[in-house]
A and B are shown apart, each in its own frame.
Chain A
Amino acid sequence: MIGHEWMAPLMFGGLVVFLLFGYPVAFALAAVGLAFGFIGVQAGFFEFALLQALPERVFGILSNDLLLAIPFFTFMGAVLQKSGLAEELLEGIGQLFGPVRGGLAFAVIIVGAILGAITGTVAASVIAMGAIALPVMMRYGYSMRVATGVVAASGTITQIIPPSLVLIVLADQLGRSVGDMYAGAIGASLLQVLLFCGFIAALALMRPALVPALPPEARTLRGMALAKKIAWGVLPSIGLMFLVLGTILLGLATPTEGGAMGAVGAVINAAMHRRLNWSMVWQSSEATMRLTAMVIFILIGSTVFGLVFRGLDGDLWIEHLLSDLPGGVAGFLIFVNVLVFVLAFFLDFFEIAFIIIPLLAPVAYKLGIDLVWFGVLLGANMQTSFMHPPFGFALFYLRGVAPREVKSADIYWGALPWVGLQLLLVAILIAWPELVTGMLDKVKVIMPGDVMIDIDVPVYDTGGFDGFPDEPAP
């Protein structure tokens, strides 16, 4: 008979093996959970009643108002993408900044930030910008490495720019309010955009040949025509972003309602541009349905895993393991950041959020770490990983859409300075947590009493961390 103290490590090992096997994560997670659940029942570590709590847990996930934001944000992103938003944005902003040295690169960064805030998917941004902006930059003499680097980097800054879906999921899993999560992420995302723009500005000053301005013949729009292009192509998208973000931050709408209004807004935007048709709407909603089912099934699988893992005192084992690291809080943070950085090569955001974060959050909480800051830090860390050669997802997507003459070596070398900038951001976040936590206090001071930032979301246990040690079900 295997001793009780070995069960949790064995189960964790089983998880790694089952996941590596390559069968869909959702079912592998549930299978590990149930296999060890039966072992646990047989060995008398807990009662079968523990497993009977599962349907209620699944029901709790399905009736969770906050998770309902997932399809809304996904749908909004899909509609905006299919209605040619990225093209409009890049053309408008590219023409606006074109005359300046490095102008196209600035445009890519800004468009990346806007697209990221709305769609929150790395792939959509990288693919759109890689397909549109990269050929233009190459034609007008940009250095290949600068061009590929700025596209990959701007595509990955989606993670922590509010009102991104990523922050909502993190808020759910960390047991913090979405409003706090958004407020905390604002400083970090602004700093990130500034760092990127600063780098391009420095290049424009010191190595102008790498980032030339658009020649006069390429500036097709001027004066009123340009203003009209901006008003028509750019403002609605930015307006939509602030509508969603603003109403949520001001406490006027819950994230779910904000997402739903964003979704309707995206459809209206498409109608205004005469790009609305039934097949586009249906395709968007079908893609949304499949992504939602996929994501929620990971969460269902991880709930099964988590329930049994806690039943076997796995949470205590992890906590013991991580709080005994040399260096206390600093040691924990270094370990966690390196771990997530490496895992993000192989796991996507939802897998990390639903499998890894529930294991880490209780330990972070016990160590007195601010969970909003922790979430923003992990988000910044993951996006670094997404563009780190040779595994970063963003680089794969870019490779997929880049013209043939772009060499993989250019993409890899081009990414390096941006990885450096991302790491700088992570370092700054660690050195000055006030950048995140300071925003929380400030927003609360500005809006006392009558307007609450904390949005009243019904609390259901979705397997995430709710701020308090989870009681195993009786």
Chain B
Amino acid sequence: MQALLRISRGIDALSARVAVIATACVLGACAISAANAVSRYAFDLSSNAWLEAQWYLFAGMVMLGAAHTLRRNEHVRVDLIYGRASERTQAWIDLIGTLLFLFPAIGLMAWLAWPMFTGAYAIGEVSSNAGGLIRWPVKLLLPVGFALLMLQGVSEVIKRVAVLAGRRVVEPDHYERPLQ
């Protein structure tokens, strides 16, 4: 169990590191997009590479941030039952859900997304827009993001099993409905 919890802590730390990149993507996207708008209207200059950089960063914040969001327990739920359940029941729901929902669904997505990246990499696919960016880096984000999410799922499973076994070493984050 100790070894498993160490693994879980390691995965959490990895997700948090990757989330720093995702957070930086937010700032980068804001700055680039605002600069693009200004340069287009003020100087009549626009560059497809910079326009595409906006959504490359968007893809980065989503795919690289999803695992950390899972660790922070911030993926929204329908908490009609979950919200009223005891801590143990919640741990069971999370355990079963991760094993039956998250692993198969996200695993399949990662597996399906991999050939999309290898295909783009093999032919050196470039955006069809003039001066656009090369495609494989952003396509790589999909399988990588899904794989990180799977990995974070492993950590969540360990934490839930620890809760159910009465080991309060690592607390899973408490779920709160996201503010809307």
Contact = CB atoms under 8 A, between A and B. Distances in A.
A24 interface: yes
A264 B31 contact: yes
B76 A351 contact: yes
Contacts of B30: 71-72, 75, 260, 263-264, 285
B147 interface: no
Contacts, number: 210
A260 B66 contact: no
Interface string A103-146: 00000000000000000011110010000000000000000000
B58 A62 contact: yes
Interface string A9-27: 0000000001111111111
Interface in B36-95: 36-38, 41, 54-55, 58-59, 61-63, 65-66, 68-70, 72, 74-83, 85, 90, 93-94
A22 B82 contact: yes
B132 to A, nearest CB: 11
Interface in A323-365: 346-351
Contact of B76 (A124, A281, A298): A298
B103 to A, nearest CB: 9
Nearest to A64: B55
Interface stretch (A89-97, A249-257, A431-439): A249-257
Interface stretch (A28-36, A180-188, A194-202, A212-220): A28-36
B109 A30 contact: yes
Most B-side CB within 10 Å, residue of A18, A24, A124: A24
A393 interface: yes
Contacts of A351: 76, 78
B104 interface: yes
Interface residues of A, number: 71
B109 A54 contact: yes
B105 A20 contact: no
Contacts of A297: 62, 66, 69, 75
Nearest to B65: A293
Interface residues of B, number: 66
Q: Could you tell me the dominant secondary structure of chain A's interface residues?
A: helix
A169 to B, nearest CB: 12
B138 interface: yes
Contacts of B61: 71, 288-289, 292-293
B58 A68 contact: yes
B76 A294 contact: yes
B54 A256 contact: yes
Contacts of A347: 78
Most B-side CB within 10 Å, residue of A19, A21, A51, A62: A62
Nearest to B70: A24
Most A-side CB within 10 Å, residue of B63, B66, B81: B66
Contacts of B105: 27, 30-31, 33-34, 301, 304
Contacts of B81: 20-22
B155 to A, nearest CB: 15
A61 to B, nearest CB: 8
B113 interface: yes
B58 A19 contact: no
B74 A290 contact: yes
Contact of A292 (B36, B65, B70, B106): B65
A55 B116 contact: yes
A5 interface: no
Contacts of A290: 65, 68-69, 72, 74
Nearest to A282: B23
A-B pairs, top 4 by smallest CB distance, nearest first, are A22-B82, A23-B97, A260-B33, A123-B179
Given A23-B97, A55-B115, 11 more contacts: A23-B96, A25-B77, A26-B75, A55-B109, A62-B138, A63-B55, A63-B59, A72-B29, A72-B33, A285-B27, A298-B76
